[in-house]
Structure 1
Amino acid sequence: MASLYWARTDLRVHDNAALHAAAQQGPVTAVYLAAPGQWRIHGDAPAKIDFWLRNLRAFADALAERGIDLHVLTMDTWAEAPDLLADFCDAHGIGAVHCNIEYPVNERRRDGLVARRLRERGVALLGHHGAVLLAPGTVRTGGGDYYRVFTPFSKRCRDLLREAPLAALPPPAAQSVPRRGEAPAPTPLSADGFETPPAALGDQWPAGEDAAHAALDAFVDEAITAYDTRRDLPAYRGTSRVSAYLAAGVLSPGQCLRAALSANQGELDSGSTGVRTWITEILWREFYQHLLAGFPSLSMHQPMKPETAAVPWRDAPDDLQAWQQGRTGVPIVDAGMRELLACGWMHNRVRMVTAMFLSKNLLIDWRLGEAWFMAHLVDGDLAANNGGWQWSASTGADAAPYFRVFNPVSQSQRFDPQGVYLRRWLPELANLDNKAIHEPSAAQRKACGYPAAIVDLKTSRQRAIDAYAGLK
C-alpha cells in the first residue's frame, strides 16, 4: 500500500526524517492541513502564516519534481483532522502515515486523536523526530529526568553528538506511479482572517529551500567566525537570520549544525570561537524544544518555576500599549518594538531587553508579551518564544535570576554605541549626538516629539526585585 507524508512545520525535501521514511516504504503521497481557526487560536502572526504558505507553495513544487503530489486539506480547527485524514487515507489507499513529531500540547493531543481514528481504519501513524537534533527523552540527567539547566544539557548533547554524528537524509527519489484520485488543487495563497503582509516582508524572507540555504551559506561564509563578537550588535547583520526557516522547518537543525561543523573542521568544542558560540545557540534551541516535550504545562501558559505564578503583576493597559507600539520613552525598547511591527522580526539582544523591560521594569505579566511577540513574529516558535520570555521574566528553566534586571540605557550604550540602530527605527531622534540619543533630556524630547519615559528605571527595578523576593 501507499504511504502518506503528513507535512507540518517541516517544509523541506532534504534531511526530512518523516518524508524519508515514507518514501522508503514505497509510493508516497503528501498532505498538509491548513487550519486558519487553529492558527488564530494559537495567536500566530499574519507574517508567519504568509511565510508558511509561500514556503508551502515552494515545497509543493519541489515534491512535484519528484512525482509526489501535495494535497492541502482545509479545515477550521484541528478537531476536524481525524476524520479528514482517515477519509483521505481511505480514498488514496494509504497504509501508513508518517509525520515529524511536534511537541506543544495541542499538537500532541491532535496527534493522539488522529492516531486513534486511523487505527480504526487499519492505518498506522508513525512519528519521527525531524525537528530536533536528538529525540526528547534521550537527553536525561543521571537521575533519569529532563534537564532544567542548560550547561549540563549542552554538555550531554555534545557527548551524544560526538558518539553518533548526525547523518544527512537524502531527498526522496523521483517516483512515477499512477495517481489515485483527483489531482491536488493549487496550494492556497492566503488564509481567512490573516491579512497579507507588505511585499517588503516577502523580500526580506524569500521562500523555499534554496533561499534558506543561501541565507545559511552566506552566514557561514561571511559572519559565523565573528558571531561571538557581533551577535549582540543590533545595527549589524551579525546573526544568522535563519530563524524563520528553522521555525517553518525549511531548514533542519541538523543542517545548521553540519554547516557549522564544516566551517570548524568538524569540531564541536574547539576551533573558531564564533562557530562554537553559534553551536551553543543551536543547542539553546534544542533545550527549549526538549523542555516543551518534557513539561506540557509550558504549552499551557504556566511558568516553569511554580512559585513565580504568584508574582503580583500590574494591570497597566496604558503601559502595555505604550510598550507594544514603541512609545515607552526608552529608546532601545521603542526601537525594538518598532522593528517588530515593521519587519515581523527583532534582533535577539533587543528581544531580551524589551522582554525584561516589560516583565521587570513595568512588572507586566510576561505572558502578555509572549503573546504579542507571537502575534507579530515571522519566526514565531512556541518553544523558543516561551523559553526566551521565561528566561527574561525569571520564571523559567535556567532563567536569569530575578534580581538581574537589564538597564536598557546601559544595554543601548554598550551594544549600539553610535546609535545606528536607534536612528534606523527612531528617526525623530536622528539628530541627537551619540550620547544623548540613548537617554534624551526633557528638552530634547520635547523638541523632537519623543515621549518622556513611562517609568523610572531605578525605582521600577527595585519594585521588581521586591516583588520577586517576597515570593514563598
Structure 2
Amino acid sequence: MNTEPQLSTITGHALVWLRADLRVTDNTALNRAIASGLPIIAVYIATPMQWYQHYVSGRQIDLIERRLQVVKQQFNDINIPLLILEGDDFSAATDIILNLCQQYQINAVYCNRQHPWNEKQRDRAVEQALIAQDKQWHCSDDYCVLPPGSVLTKLQEMYKVFTPYRNAWLKQFLSNNYQPVTNSNKVILSQQCLRLLNDNIDTNSKIHAFNYNKQDSVLWPVDDSAIQQRLQMFCEDKAEYYQQQRDFPAIDGTSCLSPYLAIGALSARQCLASLLQTLPQCVEINKDNGAFVWLSEVVWREFYNHLLDSDERLSKNQPFQLYTDNVQWLENSDHVHAWQQGQTGFPLVDAAMRQLATTGWMHNRLRMITASFLTKDMLCDWRIGEQWFMQQLIDGELASNNGGWQWAASTGTDAQPYFRVFNPTTQSERFDPKGEFIRQWIPELESVPDKYIHAPSLWSGFGCVNYPLPIVDHKQMRLLAIESYKQAKTEYDNQREV
C-alpha cells in the first residue's frame, strides 16, 4: 500500500526558521520538520538593527550572506524553498512568522534553540503568538552537543569550574551515541512550494540588511566540501600535534573552524564525529594528547554556552564574579585607541590586533594575551574589549567571546586569578621566539634583531624605526591591577557583612 500523503490531501506546511544553524546536514530542526511529513518552507530573517545592537562584525554578516546562497541551493535540491526576509530587530520576528503562517498555511514552526537572553525572549514571544493561533512550536537543542541543563552537579546546579564539568560532560557523552544525522530524502512538494522553487527571482538581492557595514569574508570558503575538507585535514594532519603547536601563532596548528561553528555552517557534533573516527583515543584524558586537548576546546565552548543559558547576567554586560563590579577601571581613550590599532609598543600585542583588524580572526593564545593586556596592563574595563572583538571577529559568538574576556579579566567563572597577570614580553618570547609572527604583521620591525624583537625600544637603532614606545610600564601596572582587584574584593566583602 502506498502510504505517502497525496498532494491533494495536504492542507498545510511546516516552516523551518534558520538562525545560527546554516546547514542542511545534521540540522535537528530540519530533521524534525521532515519527520512531520508536511511540505516544508524555510526562512531566514535578517535583522540589521539587532546586529548593530549586538556589535556583530561586518565580516560575519558577509559570511552569513555567502553561506545562505549555498544553503538556498541545498534546500532547493531537497524541494524546500528558502525565503530570506528582513526585519529591523528581533521584535519584528513575531509579525514576520505569523504573516508567513497565514500566507502559506503553515501549521508548525521548527527552529533550533539559541541561548543568549535576547534570543530567548524573541522565541518566547513568537511561541506565545503561535500558540494563540493554534499553531505548533517546535524548538530543538542543536547548538551544543549536550543541551544546556543536562550537565549538572549532584546538587542539580551548573558547574562553576571547568575540569569537573568536562569530566561530567565526557561521561555523559560517552554513554550516549551523539552522531550527526544526514538528511538524504527529498521532502513532500506542495503546489505552493513548487511555485516558490520555480521563482527565479533572487530574494537576496532585495535584502538591504546585508549591506550592513560589510567587510569581505572571502578568506573563508562557504561550500560544504571546503568546510568538510578543512575539518578532515585538521583531524588527520594537525589534531595529533595540537597540544604542541596550538600556542604558537606563526605555526598553522589550529583548526580555524570557529567561524563555521559560530554561524552553524558546521555543527559541534560533526567536529567530534570526525575527530573520533580519525583519532578514537581523543576521549582519553591526557593533557599531552593533542586530540584530547582539542576535544577539550570543544567542551569549553559547551561550558560557556551552558553558563550563558543558565545565567542571564552574562547576556547583560554583567560579571560573573560580582565583586569585580567594584574594580576601579582606568579611562584612557588614547590607550584604548592604541590597543585597537596595534600601536601599544608591545610587538606581539600589536601584531595580534593588526591580524584581527585585517582578517577578522585572531589566534586563541593571542586573544588571551591581548585581553590580559587591556584589562591588567591598561586596567581597562573588559566590556570595552569584548565589544571591540565582537565588532571585528568573523567568529564572534556571545558565549565564547564573553567567556574568554571574563576569563582574562578575572571576572568570570573559573577565570584566571586576578593576581596572575600575563607579562606581554615574556609571552612574546615564549610563543613567538624568533619574531616570525611579529614581523609578518608589523613590517616596520623587520630590521630589528631577534634579540630585541620582543622589546624593540631597548635596541640602539630604535630611533630609526617607525614604531611607538610602550604605552605602559608592565611592572607598575601589574601591581596597580592586583591592588585594584584586591580593594574591590575587600569592599565587596565588607558590604556583604553590613
> What TM-score results when the alignment is normalised by the length of structure 1?
0.97
- Paired with 2:202 and 2:292, the residues of 1 have a C-alpha distance of 43
- Residue 317 of structure 1, aligned match among 333, 341, 346: 333
Q: Does 1:212 align with 2:218?
A: no
SS of 2:295's equivalent in the other structure is: helix
- Is the CA contact (8 Å cut-off) linking 2:113 and 2:139 kept in structure 1? yes
Q: Following TM superposition, by how much is the alpha carbon of 1:270 offset from its aligned partner in structure 2, in angstroms?
A: 5.5
Letter in 2 for 1:78: F
Alignment of 1:15-30 (within 5 A): 15-26=26-37, 27-30=39-42
SS of 1:236's equivalent in the other structure is: coil
Q: Does 1:125 align with 2:137?
A: yes
Partner of 1:362: 378
> What TM-score results when the alignment is normalised by the length of structure 2?
0.92
Partner of 2:278: 263
Letter in 2 for 1:254: R
329 and 266 in structure 1: CA distance in 2 versus 1, 3 angstrom threshold = closer
SS of 1:188's equivalent in the other structure is: helix
Q: Does 1:399 align with 2:411?
A: no
SS of 1:80's equivalent in the other structure is: helix
Gaps of 5+ in 1: none
- Is the CA contact (8 Å cut-off) linking 2:15 and 2:108 kept in structure 1? yes
Q: Following TM superposition, by how much is the alpha carbon of 1:91 offset from its aligned partner in structure 2, in angstroms?
A: 1.3
Q: Does 1:349 align with 2:365?
A: yes
Alignment of 1:145-224 (within 5 A): 145-171=157-183, 173-180=185-192, 183=196, 185-188=201-204, 191=209, 194-198=212-216, 201-202=217-218, 204-224=219-239
Q: Report the structure number with the largest CA radius of gyration.
A: 2
- Is the CA contact (8 Å cut-off) linking 2:90 and 2:122 kept in structure 1? yes
Q: Does 1:306 align with 2:322?
A: yes
Letter in 1 for 2:75: L
- Residue 344 of structure 2, aligned match among 308, 318, 328: 328
SS of 1:168's equivalent in the other structure is: coil
- Paired with 2:153 and 2:66, the residues of 1 have a C-alpha distance of 41
Q: Following TM superposition, by how much is the alpha carbon of 1:193 offset from its aligned partner in structure 2, in angstroms?
A: 5.4
120 and 331 in structure 1: CA distance in 2 versus 1, 3 angstrom threshold = same
Partner of 1:73: 85
- Paired with 2:138 and 2:147, the residues of 1 have a C-alpha distance of 14
- Paired with 2:423 and 2:281, the residues of 1 have a C-alpha distance of 39
- Residue 6 of structure 1, aligned match among 17, 23, 29: 17
Q: Following TM superposition, by how much is the alpha carbon of 1:176 offset from its aligned partner in structure 2, in angstroms?
A: 4.6
Q: Deviations over 1:7-58 (max 9, x none)?
A: 0010011111111111110221111111111111111100010001111111
- Residue 260 of structure 2, aligned match among 239, 245, 250: 245
Alignment of 1:425-464 (within 5 A): 425-441=441-457, 443-464=460-481
Q: Does 1:379 align with 2:395?
A: yes
Partner of 1:107: 119
- Is the CA contact (8 Å cut-off) linking 1:15 and 1:169 kept in structure 2? yes
Gaps of 5+ in 2: 1-11, 493-498
Letter in 2 for 1:332: L
320 and 283 in structure 1: CA distance in 2 versus 1, 3 angstrom threshold = same
Q: Following TM superposition, by how much is the alpha carbon of 1:446 offset from its aligned partner in structure 2, in angstroms?
A: 2.4
- Is the CA contact (8 Å cut-off) linking 2:360 and 2:393 kept in structure 1? yes
- Is the CA contact (8 Å cut-off) linking 1:63 and 1:69 kept in structure 2? yes
- Paired with 2:462 and 2:191, the residues of 1 have a C-alpha distance of 67
- Is the CA contact (8 Å cut-off) linking 1:19 and 1:172 kept in structure 2? no
SS of 1:30's equivalent in the other structure is: strand
- Paired with 1:248 and 1:43, the residues of 2 have a C-alpha distance of 15
Letter in 2 for 1:324: Q
Letter in 2 for 1:143: L
Q: Does 1:226 align with 2:261?
A: no
- Paired with 1:49 and 1:172, the residues of 2 have a C-alpha distance of 29
Q: Deviations over 1:108-128 (max 9, x none)?
A: 000011111111221122111
Q: Following TM superposition, by how much is the alpha carbon of 1:262 offset from its aligned partner in structure 2, in angstroms?
A: 1.3
Q: Does 1:43 align with 2:55?
A: yes
Number of matched pairs: 469
Letter in 2 for 1:64: N
- Paired with 1:97 and 1:194, the residues of 2 have a C-alpha distance of 28
6 and 336 in structure 1: CA distance in 2 versus 1, 3 angstrom threshold = same
265 and 426 in structure 1: CA distance in 2 versus 1, 3 angstrom threshold = same
- Paired with 1:196 and 1:167, the residues of 2 have a C-alpha distance of 35
Root mean square deviation, CA, Å: 1.5
Letter in 2 for 1:19: L
SS of 2:392's equivalent in the other structure is: coil
- Paired with 1:35 and 1:440, the residues of 2 have a C-alpha distance of 46
Letter in 2 for 1:22: A
SS of 1:140's equivalent in the other structure is: coil
SS of 2:370's equivalent in the other structure is: helix
Q: Following TM superposition, by how much is the alpha carbon of 1:211 offset from its aligned partner in structure 2, in angstroms?
A: 2.1
187 and 349 in structure 1: CA distance in 2 versus 1, 3 angstrom threshold = farther
Q: Following TM superposition, by how much is the alpha carbon of 1:187 offset from its aligned partner in structure 2, in angstroms?
A: 4.5
- Paired with 2:211 and 2:333, the residues of 1 have a C-alpha distance of 25
- Paired with 1:392 and 1:319, the residues of 2 have a C-alpha distance of 18
Q: Following TM superposition, by how much is the alpha carbon of 1:375 offset from its aligned partner in structure 2, in angstroms?
A: 0.2
- Is the CA contact (8 Å cut-off) linking 1:57 and 1:187 kept in structure 2? no
Partner of 1:418: 434
- Paired with 1:410 and 1:142, the residues of 2 have a C-alpha distance of 41
- Paired with 2:346 and 2:363, the residues of 1 have a C-alpha distance of 17
- Residue 254 of structure 1, aligned match among 269, 273, 277: 269
Q: Percent identity?
A: 40
